[in-house]
């Protein structure tokens, strides 16, 4: 998904994808999702989002450490981080939907 544009869709979902990459590649994927969506479309990111204070989601914090050790520059992130990247490429409205366990869905609307 780095070589070709994403197919056009009303909803783009990435589940446990963004944490595998460094910031440059994360931003490439966020931009690719934005470009593939129509106005009003939704980008749904399912991850173990870390709380903004970085004190409560132990699983997300451990996963971030694991990504750093395994890949050298990959990392997990907070909802604030995700939504900052989303706003940077043009998404307008965002929300977090808590899921089971430590996972959440960060949703950004075009």
Residue 79 in any domain: the answer is yes
Q: Is 28 a catalytic residue?
A: no
Q: Mean pLDDT in the chain?
A: 93
So what's the pLDDT on residue 69?
Answer: 87
Asked whether residue 1 is domain-assigned, the answer is: no
SS (H, E, C) 9-64: CCEEEEECCHHHCCHHHHHHHHHHHHHHCCCCCEEEEEECCECCCCCCCHHHHHHH
Q: Which is the catalytic residue, given 14, 19, 57, 74?
A: 19
Q: How far apart are CA 39 and CA 47, in angstroms?
A: 24
Q: Look at residue 52 in the predicted model and tell me its pLDDT.
A: 82
DSSP class of residue 2?
Answer: -
What pLDDT shows up at residue 56?
76
Domain of residue 75: give its range: 16-109
Helix (H/G/I), strand (E/B), else coil: 81: helix
pLDDT (tens digit per residue) in 4-42: 999 999 999 999 999 999 999 999 999 999 999 999 999
- The answer to whether residue 4 is domain-embedded is no
CATH of the domain at 104: 3.40.50.150
Q: What is the pLDDT of residues 56-105, one digit of tens each?
A: 777 777 787 788 888 889 999 999 999 999 999 999 999 999 999 889 99
């Amino acid at each position: 998904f780095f070589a070709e544009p994403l197919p056009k869709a009303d909803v783009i979902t990435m589940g446990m994808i963004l944490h595998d990459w460094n910031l440059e590649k994360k931003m490439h994927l966020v931009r690719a999702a934005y470009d593939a969506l129509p106005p009003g479309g939704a980008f749904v990111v399912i991850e173990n989002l870390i709380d903004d204070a970085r004190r409560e989601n132990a699983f997300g914090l451990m996963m971030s450490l694991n990504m750093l050790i395994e890949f050298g520059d990959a990392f997990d992130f907070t909802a604030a981080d995700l939504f900052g990247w989303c706003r940077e490429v043009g998404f307008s409205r965002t929300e977090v939907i808590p899921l089971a366990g430590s996972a959440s869905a960060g949703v950004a609307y075009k």
